[in-house]
Amino acid sequence: MNLKRGTNAKLIGVLRKKKHVRYLLCAKFVNRIGSALYNLALLTLAAKQTYSTLAISLVKLGENLPGLLDPVLAYMTDRETKRLKKAALLNIAQILLYFMLAFLLLKYQMPLALFVFILLANVLSDLLDSYMGKMFTPFSKTWIDQSERREISSLDIVLFSLSIIIGQLVGAQWLVIYPNNFWGLALLNAVTFALSLFFLKKIKFDDTVKTVMSAKNHFSVTDFLQKMRLAYSHMQQKHVLQTMWLLTFVKVIALGYGLLLNVAMVSTSNLRFGSYSQTLVVLQLTSFIGLILGSFLRFNWLEKLSYGQLIMLANGALVFAIGSCFLGLPLGYTLFFKLIGVILSGYMTPKYYTDLLQVIDEEQLTRVDSLINFVLLISSPLGILLTTICLQLFSLKTSWLLELGAALLFIIVGEIVIYRNKRRYG
């Protein structure tokens, strides 16, 4: 197995040479930590209320709202010109928002109306974070040379996952030391957004992008739908739809597998390492290690495979992981196959995003990126819903069997689709 060298040296060279890219990555990283920090805290806060069941349901609903609005946020960024200045203003808004929340959280038990207000304020902060991300999307094409994009994309993906882990760990540790001190955590959140603002202010580089809508234009549902339709047609012309739909269906299966594994871990001792919570940490670490390995390692034989073939390989690893659970094998087997699948996924994602930057026109890039994210997001509740229905109707063993059948069926149908498209487009 031949491993390409020089990837990390090239990445370090790019970060040394381009301070604006380095500062932007730091700003995004710190801002994401802040966003992840309080999402976990809200679940803990919800569990402490007398209406805890309703509160937890509202928090889980709020977590998905920013993603569902992704295409709308992408459409709204079309009018933005001075994007770094706007991002700095939004960071200031986040800082002020969490100072206000710190005051409201001096008492951790509260009426439902106040809890809903705090939840909506947190959702607003997540929306601002997502909006900033959409404004930064064209910089991946205008600030970074084509030969450097894959390394930067790999680093950005790893930093994204790491920021979520750090945010959740810091939030969890804070609440262990200070169980009811949610106002202090809100102040800590404000500090992370202030640090993000510090990095943004250090960027001295051209932030001009091609705008496709005048700042004077108001939001129009008709115009929004037309722009999204044009973006979808653009993806069709550039032949990137097949990969998006294959990724969507394999994610449906992967989310179902994850839910089944969590349910099985409760009742099956050989699917746990120690306690249930310790096993969850092991699963998360396995995913993170696989993501790092896949993002930064370069194997010659993988470079020759198409995206469809890479997705089929990742799904093949998923088939073996599901099969090991169905057969009642120890957790080590499913962890091994899960690691292989995540490595392949981590390898493919930056490569796919780099090629997307190359083939998609700059003025369409933000909308195309948001459409892909939106479709992939929709697959998450779909996979969980279908698996939940199976668990309600059938036993856990039968649900594993159905999940295995769905994964095998996807390989068959996927290969047929790949073959037909290869014959059509060459």
- Residues 81 and 129 grouped into a single domain: yes
Other C-beta atoms lying within 10 Å of the C-beta of residue 402: 16
DSSP category for residue 299: B
Alpha helix stretches (DSSP H) within 238-275: 241-267
- Residues 191 and 249 grouped into a single domain: no
Q: Give the mean model confidence (pLDDT) for residues 105-109.
A: 85
- Residues 40 and 162 grouped into a single domain: yes
- Residues 190 and 233 grouped into a single domain: no
CATH assignment of the domain containing 23 = 1.20.1250.20
pLDDT at 324: 94
Q: Is 3 helix (H, G, I), strand (E, B) or coil?
A: strand
Rounded Cα gap, residues 79 and 299, in angstroms: 41
Rounded Cα gap, residues 6 and 9, in angstroms: 5
pLDDT at 2: 44
- Residues 357 and 229 grouped into a single domain: yes
Rounded Cα gap, residues 29 and 17, in angstroms: 19
Of residues 33, 42, 92, 88, the one with CA closest to residue 62: 42
pLDDT at 3: 45
What is the overall mean pLDDT for the chain?
A: 83
Other C-beta atoms lying within 10 Å of the C-beta of residue 409: 12
Rounded Cα gap, residues 330 and 344, in angstroms: 23
- Using a pLDDT cut of 70, give the percent of the chain over it: 92
pLDDT at 7: 54
Rounded Cα gap, residues 11 and 288, in angstroms: 20
Q: List C-alpha distances in Å: 158 to 213, 347, 352.
A: 33, 11, 15
**Does residue 8 or residue 330 have the better pLDDT?**
330
- Residues 418 and 366 grouped into a single domain: yes
As beta bridge partners, residue 299 has: 3
CB 256 within 8 A of CB 386: yes
At 219-231, the pLDDT tens digits run 677 887 888 888 8
- Of 159, 183, 212, the position where a domain reaches its end is 212
Alpha helix stretches (DSSP H) within 268-330: 276-296, 300-303, 307-326
- Residues 162 and 196 grouped into a single domain: yes
Is residue 14 predicted with pLDDT exceeding 80? no
Sign of CA dihedral 48, 49, 54, 60: negative
Rounded Cα gap, residues 154 and 351, in angstroms: 8
pLDDT at 4: 47
Q: Phi, psi (5° rounding) for residue 180? A: -115, 15
Rounded Cα gap, residues 309 and 414, in angstroms: 9
pLDDT at 219: 64
- Of 194, 212, 230, the position where a domain reaches its end is 212
pLDDT at 137: 78
Number of domains in the chain: 2
pLDDT at 191: 92
Residue whose pair of structure tokens reads 């920021």 in the numeric block: 163
> Which pair of tokens denotes residue 266?
């409760």
**Does residue 248 or residue 8 have the better pLDDT?**
248
Rounded Cα gap, residues 342 and 314, in angstroms: 8
What spatial distance separates the first Cα and last Cα of the chain, rounded to whole Å? 29
DSSP category for residue 199: H
Rounded Cα gap, residues 412 and 414, in angstroms: 5
- Residues 236 and 338 grouped into a single domain: yes
Rounded Cα gap, residues 152 and 169, in angstroms: 25
- Of 186, 212, 238, the position where a domain reaches its end is 212
As beta bridge partners, residue 3 has: 299
> Which pair of tokens denotes residue 347?
């390898």
Domain that holds residue 189: 1-212
- Residues 175 and 310 grouped into a single domain: no
Rounded Cα gap, residues 297 and 7, in angstroms: 8
CB 113 within 8 A of CB 170: no
At 356-409, the pLDDT tens digits run 878 888 777 778 888 888 888 888 778 878 888 888 899 989 999 999 999 999
- Residues 149 and 283 grouped into a single domain: no
- Residues 193 and 320 grouped into a single domain: no
Helices 362-393 & 331-359 angle (0-180, nearest 10): 150
**Does residue 340 or residue 242 have the better pLDDT?**
340
Rounded to two decimals, the pTM is: 0.70
Question: Of the given ranges (55-69, 102-116, 308-322), which has the lowest mean pLDDT?
Answer: 55-69
Sign of CA dihedral 294, 296, 298, 299: negative
Is residue 355 predicted with pLDDT exceeding 70? yes
- Residues 223 and 364 grouped into a single domain: yes
CB 180 within 8 A of CB 45: no
